[in-house]
Amino acid sequence: MLGTILLIILILALLGSLPTWGYSTGWGYYPSGGLGLVLLIVVILLLMGRL
């Protein structure tokens, strides 16, 4: 249950930090790249059953 909630929050944060939105155009791809990496790690942990 906690892993699913964490996954949903990370996906929403990733979508919010994409540089296509008006408020985040100056950020570049750094926030979305970092959140994408965290999302990938969480998905791998969920698939392995560790989270």
Query: Is the CA virtual torsion 20, 29, 14, 26 positive or negative?
Result: negative
| Residue closest to 42 by CA, chosen among 18, 12, 6, 9 | 6
Per residue in 2-37, pLDDT (tens digit) is 778 888 888 887 777 766 666 666 766 677 677 778
For residue 45, pLDDT over 80 is answered with yes
pTM over 0.85: no
Q: Using pLDDT thresholds of 50, 70 and 90, give the confidence band for residue 47.
A: confident
What is the pLDDT at residue 19? 64
What is the pLDDT at residue 23? 65
What is the pLDDT at residue 26? 72
Residue 28, sorted as left (phi over 0), alpha (psi -120 to 50) or beta, turns out to be: left
**9 membership: H or E segment, kind and range:** helix 2-16
